Amino acid sequence: MNGMKTLMLLSALSALFMGLGYMFGGPGGAAIALAVAAGLNLFTFWNADRIVLRMHNACEVDARCAPELVGIVRRLAERAGLPVPRVYLIDSPHPNAFATGRDPAHGAVAATTGLLAILDREEVAAVLAHELGHIRNRDTLIMTMTATIAGAISMLANFGFFFRGERANPLAMIAAMLLAPFAAMIVQLALSRTREYGADRAGAEICGNPRALASALAKLHRGAARIPGPVSARNPAAAALYIVPGGGGRDSLFSTHPDTANRIAQLQLMAETMGLAAPRRPSVPASGRRRSASALDPHGRRR
């Protein structure tokens, strides 16, 4: 089912890409747009992980340099029935994490040093379990590919407006320039919000502690709002990959993530359904509260 949704989504975006090409260049423009869309799909399919990791200057770590972090990922992958993904660290104070890779066999998870600085060990494990949930649900490839094609549609619409042919309808050109990128953006954002809830559920099941994930989301929400992410500032499409958005998420048409408070509420309900005790009641408080010390240092080792 997930594969069919992926195919339908990419087909719709590619058709929109072709429609813009036809509007700007007729049949020849549509053929060129189809070739470009196919090329983007193939290139991103094979290089999704490299694109995202290079964008963040992520550094791969192993059991020798980050034994605790790699050990956590290995144990969680075994519980999830997944191949052990590659583990990356990003030297950034912005607290966040993401997963990438075209399939579980080529998965990778990355966390920033800022995340390790504010979360305890259980919370780190819960966040990594959320990212493994994305890999198990096969979200990582489609999110990267959608962001790439959506950005290309926006570029084509603006490029075509300035280099339109003599017979082109100016009103149609303006409508294409405004509506095509908007339509692609709506699909991308709605997709991200839906899959964040799915990864929350999968992550809570993998780590067995929904409240640890809820607590981590609360801390990351505050930290990400206080310390902006440099990569998402340059490339807003990257924000859809993160566990929390850079400035806090709201359930609105233009948000890349669900509202953090709603995600926490869903996890608390899941914990109650599982019959777990409630040692903590995380929320999304104002910044300035005392942060808890992490069990891992910024290099993924035990403190």
68 is catalytic: no
Count the Cβ atoms, other than its own, within 10 Å of residue 268.
19
Q: Alpha-carbon distance 39 to 47, whole Å?
A: 12
Q: What is the 3-state secondary structure (H, E, C) of 129-183?
A: HHHHHHHHCCCHHHHHHHHHHHHHHHHHHHHHHHCCCCCCCHHHHHHHHHHHHHH
Q: Of 34, 35, 19, nearest to 175 (Cα)?
A: 19
Q: Of 141, 122, 140, 118, nearest to 131 (Cα)?
A: 140
Per annotation, catalytic residue among 131, 166, 196, 205: 131
**Rounded to the nearest 5°, which phi and psi values hold at 252?**
-130, 170
194's CB contacts (< 8 A; 6+ apart) are none
Q: Of 133, 141, 196, nearest to 7 (Cα)?
A: 141
State the catalytic residues. 131
